[in-house]
Amino acid sequence: MSHAIRQKNICLLSIVLIGVLQPSIAQFSITGSTCVLAGQSYQYTISGPWTQSTTMTWTVSGGVITTPSCGNCTQKTGTPLPNIYISWSSSGSLTLTTSNPTGNASKTITISLALSPGSITSNGTQYINYNSTPATITCSAATGGSCTPSYSYQWQSSTDNVNFSDISGATSQDLSFSAGLTQTKYFRRKVTETTSSTVGYSNTATVFVYPQVIGGSIAPASQTINYNTTPSSLTLSGVSGGTGVYTYQWQSAPDANNWASIPGAITTTYSPPALKSVMYYRVAVTSNGAVGNSSSAVINVNPQLLPGTISPLYISIYSGTAPGPIMGITFPTGGACGGTYSYQWQSSTDGTNFTNISGATSQNYTPGTLSTTTWYRRTVTCGTDVTYTTSCKVVIITATSDINFIRVRDMLKAGVADSATAYGLNSVYDVSQSAQYFDGLGRPLQTVGMMQSPLQKDIVSFSVYDEYGRESVKYLPYPSTTTDGNFKMTSYTDAYNFNNTQFAGEQNYYSQVNYEPSPANRPSITFSAGLNWVGLSSGVATQYLVNTVSDSVRIWSISAAAGSIPTTTSSYAAGLLLKNVTIDEHNHQMVEYKDMNGTVVLKKVQLSSSPGTGHVGWLCTYYVYDDVDNLRLVIQPRCVELINSNWTISTALSNELCFRYEYDARKRMMIKKIAGAGEVWMVYDARDRLVMSQDSLLRLSGKWMVMEYDSLNRPWRTGLLTDANNRAYHQNLAGTSISYPNTSANYEVLTQTYYDDYGWVAGTGTTLASSIDATYTANSTYFNTSYNTSPSYAQQITPFYIVRGMPTGSMTKVIGTSSQYLYTVSFYDDRGRVVQAQGINYTGAKDIVTSQYDFTGKALKTLQQHNKSGTNAQSHMISTKMNYDAAGRLLTIYKNIDNAGSDQLIATNNYNELGQLNNKSDGNSIETLDYAFNIRGWLTSVNKNYLTGIGSNYFGFELGYDKTTAAVSSTSYAAAQYNGNITGTIWKSKGDGVNRKFDFTYDNINRLTGANFNQNSSGSTWSNSLIDFTVNNFSYDANGNILTMNQKGFKVNGSALIDQLSYTYQSTSNKLAKVDDAVSDPNTKLGDFHDGSNGG
């Protein structure tokens, strides 16, 4: 009897055999698989008491016997036949019967379905963009393969759908992607049923990948254009990949990194605008959402061609005159022509339409005479780039004989009592005339000093105004070629011609002020005259700012109590202080902060090359005020440097590194304390006059300096009062008195001044007289006795004894004596000039100095009578005579001692046409000094030609400033200095005739840091190998106290370091404590300094 049950795809067949039980049947069993797969061969083996003679019969249901071979039979007998192989096709059974011994066994066989590896259920076919990530491929679970199946998964990929390889880590039922694909790929899932080691594969999923979007290339790939010009159009080509359908977006970037889309630029061509800097372009090409960028194209922009500047920009002249040269004060820059620029000047009569001026192709241009207002500008060409300077407007004003003027005529001779006589004077020794001419708005146009140059030419200075009425350009004065004192119609041309000759190698004979573009009209930068200032745009700039938080300006407060030390807990918020920055010609800054009351609270001077925004890198000086705006404390830079970490001023720092001031309720300074010194006390009387003062040294001796006044508030006596009381005591008494202090006792008179008359003279007990000593006043040997005659117009020495309100004499104590005083008495003429001074000298004898003047008050002659009394008594007379030119410049000085046979020429002065000392001869040409000046009026040399071997002077030197070129062609100065510092000097003396030179160096605040020595050893060779006087290694603290210095000097067989000095100061003080010299050679110790324990 049998029953068949089907459950979950597994067929179960149970075979039950019922028979008659026989005794002594052997027990056998069959081993082998009971769950099988169709079509596979399985081995079965008998277990039990069988022998080699046991006959075994195997009977199969649901399969066939494959081994031993029997033609796929279902029953097989053998003696013995202990094992067989069966291939199953369905569920069934296996029966074994035996004889000898008799026995049987059976096994039920269950067949499992074949392995089903599952199939792709979603995303089996996908189309994606290049390098994008596919969607997850899902696959159904595997089935079959074992009665108790267990599966493992491994996803595989292939590029040809033939050769597959495992995907690392892809062992899940579904396949997810973490990276994009760059080519079409095929995917399948490998399934392994681990119980039976059966392997199967899912169907294949395909992910189609579109070709990468190739953005193509832009033509032209590179181009170079001039500044602010339009480049050629850009065209895109070579686009490929993707789906074949594209959109375009042009992008630009200034650095090929930070790209930004250009609105509206969505075709394959693009026309960029005019550019001022380099720009990169590319196209973002989109297909099916995938973006491919084209290659980039670069448009290089040549540096902006700047035309330079011309000056002046505004000139007003009279019709029929020329404006003088229009100068190119700065050179063009930029462009792409390697610095090779060409010029073309243009003119216009309306300021808009310009035409070229034939032949005007230089940097500068000098127009001819004009009759109409004309504009001029300079065209600058650099390759294909062209630009223009700002135009210079030359305004024509109508010449008129009645131009407004004020003329002043100073009489140089006495006796001119009426206007007719005054107007009739024409000699420069009789009258000095100057005239100031004005335009219709009352602005000065010219000032003409008639015949006031050394060659008696008119001296002219003139003013030029811009369109806003500002005198932004100031021309240097010049001597005219005329002598009439009238308005000069050709001042521009004349000034240029003179200065071009006077200052060889210079240009730009005017100073210039640039203003900020605001109604405030504040100067933004000021240029001094000269090629290296106006010409190079090197000037002093001013910036008008407000403070920021990063400035870190401290807010100081101080109590009203005397001796208070200020404190600070915070800084000024942004915008509360005015911040004015001054930048010199070397870009060194000085910053000044002012509060809303206009008081300076902080001044910073740049020390380091790259200072911080706060205090680091600056020398900072704080000014501390009390609540009523009295300056109470000045904090020096060294103190600021020391407190920068905690902003706390100790008593020691206040005493040694700060200046302190104290005031009373009436704002009178009552205490002044200089850094490192004791307090100075001051006492005032009821009239607010300073009547007593006492410094710390006087305080030690219990003395006060007293100032006494007469009834007219004139100081008349000073002295020392011995009084131990303090300032408060004296101020309490003096504040209500006009005659404090009482000097009747304990008082030592130091000085006394006499006024109003000479009645006091008799009481001095000296040989001084109450009237002038007229012994020699009319003596022609010593004075001119031809009065008021040309050219000197000497005045008679006549005393005038009505001297009310004038000081008539003085008394001065000889320090160190108990009662010796020196007296002087002064006598005046009727014009208040001292014509004679008599004085008692230290020996007790009388000295007399008598002076004779011309009509204008210049001293013509003096006679000094000097006497010595006592042992070896002596008496000498020294006569001095001075001669002047018509403008009052000193020409010669003569001396005569003790009535010598002739006057001796002491000095002869000659002047250039600008009135500068040009030449001076000492004595009878013992030595001649030739002076030279630069365009700024700075002395540049004395006897410069002597340095080059011309002349036989005793000494000559040159000073270098803004130019490195030296008078001696074989050398030059190390660096130009534009701020007035001397860059170097060359000198030569007659002793050995060798040129020697120092090159100076400075720090950012103009402190000397070195003087490098060289000498012209031979020929054109300069060296310091034979002798070296170099001084270097200068260093300073924040207050400017010197810290170190090295000096080389002459020693036997050459030069060596003779001083290596280190300066030590008292703690937190400016007081020098000692000087150490690290060079200890006793042969170079000259005893030139001592500090008690060190010397050198």
Q: What is the pLDDT of residues 643-657, one digit of tens each?
A: 999 999 999 999 999
Indicate the burial class of 139 (C-beta count within 10 angstroms; 0-12, 13-18, 19 or more).
buried
DSSP strand pairing (35-37 vs 103-112): parallel
CATH number of the 309-397 domain: 2.60.40.10
> Low-confidence residues of the chain, pLDDT below 70?
1-24, 399-402, 1083-1096
Fold designation for 120-209: Immunoglobulin-like (2.60.40)
- The CATH architecture of the domain made up of 29-111 is Sandwich (2.60)
Let me know if domain 938-1077 sits in CATH 1.20.1260.10.
no
3-state secondary structure of 942: strand
What's the CA gap between 465 and 443, in Å, rounded?
9
- Specify whether the CB–CB gap between 943 and 932 falls below 8 A: no
Does the CA dihedral 477-482-487-493 come out positive or negative? negative
Cα–Cα distance, 632 to 559 (Å, whole number): 10
Residue 971 tokens read as: 């050398």
Helix (H, G, I), strand (E, B) or coil at 419: helix
Q: Is the peptide bond before 68 cis (omega within 30 degrees of 0)?
A: yes
What are the angstrom distances between the C-alpha of 405 and each of 148, 411, 478, 773, 814? 129, 19, 20, 48, 57
Q: Is the pTM of this model over 0.85?
A: no
> Which among 1001, 1004, 1043, 941 is positioned nearest to 1013, based on CA atoms?
1001
Instruction: Pull the structure tokens for residue 21.
Output: 């039980």
Collapse the DSSP code of 696 into the 3-class scheme (helix H, G, I; strand E, B; otherwise coil) and give the result. helix
The Cα 635–Cα 633 span in angstroms is 6
- Rounded CA gap, 639 and 1037, in Å? 11
Shortest CA distance to 581 belongs to which of 611, 540, 548, 612? 540
pLDDT in tens, 788-828: 999 999 999 999 999 999 999 999 999 999 999 999 999 99
Q: How would DSSP label each residue in 356-378? A: EPTT--SSSB----BSS-EEEEE
Q: Are 1061 and 1044 in contact (CB under 8 A)?
A: yes
Q: Is the separation of the CB atoms in 889 and 899 below 8 Å?
A: no
Q: Are 896 and 903 in contact (CB under 8 A)?
A: yes
The CATH 2.40.128.720 portion of the chain extends over 938-1077
Domain with CATH 2.60.40.10 in the chain: 120-209, 217-301, 309-397
- Please spell the DSSP secondary structure of 912-930, one letter per residue: -TTS-EEEEEETTTTEEEE
Q: What is the CATH number of domain 217-301?
A: 2.60.40.10
Distance of CA 502 to the CA centre of its chain: 35
Residue 866: phi and psi, rounded to 5, are -110, 130
CA distances from 984 to 256, 456, 529 (A): 50, 36, 21
CA distance 531 to 409: 37
**What's the pLDDT at 655?**
97
Alpha-carbon gap, residue 497 to 76, rounded angstroms:
142
Question: In Å, what is the CA distance from 1052 to each residue of 882, 1049, 1056?
Answer: 50, 10, 9
pLDDT of residue 630: 97
| Tokens coding 30 | 């069959």
* The pLDDT value given to residue 1070: 97
Sequence length of the chain is 1096
Q: Are 784 and 853 a contacting pair, CB within 8 Å? A: no
pLDDT of residue 742: 96
The secondary structure of 1016-1072, three-state, reads EEECCEEECCCCCCCEEEEEECCCCCEEEEEEEEEECCEEEEEEEEEEEECCCCCCE
For residue 964, report the phi and psi dihedrals to the nearest 5 degrees.
Answer: -85, -15
580, containing H or E segment: strand 578-583
> 993: phi > 0 → left, psi -120 to 50 → alpha, else beta; which?
left
CA gap 950, 100 in Å, rounded: 154
**Closest among 103, 109, 163, 155 to 134, alpha carbons compared:** 155
pLDDT at residue 925, as a whole number: 81
If you write DSSP's letter for every residue of 376-410 in order, what string do you get? EEEEEEETTEEEEPPPEEEEEE---TT-EEEEEEE
**Residue 523 pLDDT:** 96
What is the identity of the amino acid at 404? N
Give pLDDT, residue 1088.
64
Which candidate, 911, 854, 915, 889, places its Cα nearest to that of 411? 854
